[in-house]
A and B are shown apart, each in its own frame.
Chain A
Amino acid sequence: MSANHAVIVAVVTMRKEQILSGGAPIFIVQTTDELQETAMTLEKIMDASTHEVNPSTLILVAH
């Protein structure tokens, strides 16, 4: 219902080499478990929702 744009508040990724730069803070992790865990913690803190871009990268988006 909202016409407001979604904003990426954080990025959690296992692939360090993909990072170029960005407006959002980036969290680098090693394993899938760590990926999920970090994303969950951030989700609870930021009241954002986690979305999967690809299996090794999750983004947190505030809608």
Chain B
Amino acid sequence: MTPYLLPVLMGIFFGFMARLTLLRTDFRQYPTYPQGRMIHLSFGFIAAFIGAVAVPAVLESDWTAVTFLGLAATQFREVRKMERETLEKIDEDELVGRGTPFIEGMAQAFESRNYLVMFTGLVTTLCTVFSIWIGVIGGLVMLLIVKKNMSSNIVGNIADISEGKIYFEGPTLYVDNIVIKNVGLESSRQMILDRAVGVIVTPKNQNSIVTLSHLGQRQAMLHQVATVLGAFLDSGEPALVPLAKRDLADGRIALFIMPSEKDFHQIQTVIEHVPVLDSAVRMPRKADKGK
């Protein structure tokens, strides 16, 4: 038995544990169970392995072996590409799509999680080389860091969600005072009045005004509501498609949605928990405008 066998095994174990904690199949039903999970767990195992064996390579001054880390990075970029392609394909058949920025965010998460796993494996192995107990502690600390990294900012932190009144002025549909669209059919108007829910998303500050104006962020909110609370919708019913429109004056977003579940408290909770998309975040307040 080589002196590095135990540290490497420890690194692989904790790295793999990190991937397990990061892999959640939740209400979004993604990754699909069990095939999608298998793919990501295998990738996680490989990542942990590469991270773990990098340490003995350095300690033995085997510098060529370290370059394999670079190779691994290329592999994990492939993971991102694979996830993006799959999700984009699936999105075409979604009644209420995720939108490209949401997909991009998910794909990025899959890539970055593999790096976290690799890093966990590396740190744990390095610690175990000194003593098995330092290794265990190091591994647990890494698991905590990884767990913390998983939670992202949510819409509830950057905006207030309130109920908006749905009404028609002639053929024009309003949520509070924000115009949504023109509906021509009498029957559609009645259906909307019966089943639709209006939501007003009020940004808390100037940064969130810009973030929420992002079309992808709005689509993500609509998608989340449709996924969790159902959608009163079918293909070929464009009159019932949920929409998000913006008040140009103050940046409030009006959502017109037709969930199967009309309880506003649930809708509010769901929208509050929509992740703030990386690609939608803007920080105009931090820019130098000569003020």
The proximity string for B residues 164-202 relative to A, scoring 1 for CB distances below 8 Å and 0 otherwise, is 000000110000000001111111100000000000000
B235 at the interface (CB under 8 A from A): yes
Bound form: Cα–Cα A5–B97 in Å: 19
Q: Is the CB of A47 within 8 A of B184?
A: no
Tell which of A1, A44, A59, A63 touches B184, judged by Cβ atoms closer than 8 Å.
A59
Tell me which residues from 36 to 63 in chain A have a Cβ below 8 Å from any Cβ of chain B.
36, 39-40, 43-44, 47-52, 58-59, 63
Q: Is the CB of B188 within 8 A of A50?
A: yes
Q: Is the CB of B239 within 8 A of A52?
A: no
Q: Is the CB of A50 within 8 A of B236?
A: no
- Asked if A52 meets B238 with Cβ closer than 8 Å, knowing A1-B99, A59-B184, the reply is no
Q: Is the CB of A50 within 8 A of B239?
A: yes
The proximity string for A residues 8-37 relative to B, scoring 1 for CB distances below 8 Å and 0 otherwise, is 000000000000000000000000000010
Q: Is the CB of B187 within 8 A of A51?
A: no
B227 at the interface (CB under 8 A from A): no
* Number of residues from B at the complex interface, CB < 8 A: 19
Tell which of B182, B219, B237 touches A52, judged by Cβ atoms closer than 8 Å.
B182
Tell which of B99, B170, B185 touches A50, judged by Cβ atoms closer than 8 Å.
B185
B72 at the interface (CB under 8 A from A): no
Q: Is the CB of B238 within 8 A of A63?
A: yes
B132 at the interface (CB under 8 A from A): no
Bound form: Cα–Cα A49–B171 in Å: 13
Q: How many pairs of residues, A versus B, come closer than 8 Å at their CB atoms?
A: 42
Bound form: Cα–Cα A39–B188 in Å: 11
Bound form: Cα–Cα A52–B185 in Å: 8
Q: Is the CB of A51 within 8 A of B238?
A: no
Q: Is the CB of B170 within 8 A of A1?
A: no
B140 at the interface (CB under 8 A from A): no
Q: Is the CB of A58 within 8 A of B184?
A: yes
Chain B nearest CB: distance from A34 CB in Å? 12
Q: Across the two chains, which residue of chain B brings its CB closest to A52?
A: B171
List A contacts of B185 (CB < 8 A): 36, 39-40, 43, 50, 58
- Asked if A36 meets B186 with Cβ closer than 8 Å, knowing A1-B99, A1-B215, A52-B171, the reply is yes
Chain B nearest CB: distance from A24 CB in Å? 14
Q: Is the CB of A40 within 8 A of B187?
A: yes
Bound form: Cα–Cα A40–B182 in Å: 15
Q: List 15 A-B contacts (CB under 8 A).
A: A1-B219, A36-B185, A36-B187, A39-B185, A47-B238, A48-B238, A49-B183, A49-B239, A50-B185, A51-B171, A52-B170, A52-B182, A52-B183, A59-B184, A63-B238
Which B residues have a C-beta under 8 Å from some C-beta of A? 97, 99, 170-171, 181-188, 215, 219, 235-239
Which A residues have a C-beta under 8 Å from some C-beta of B? 1, 36, 39-40, 43-44, 47-52, 58-59, 63
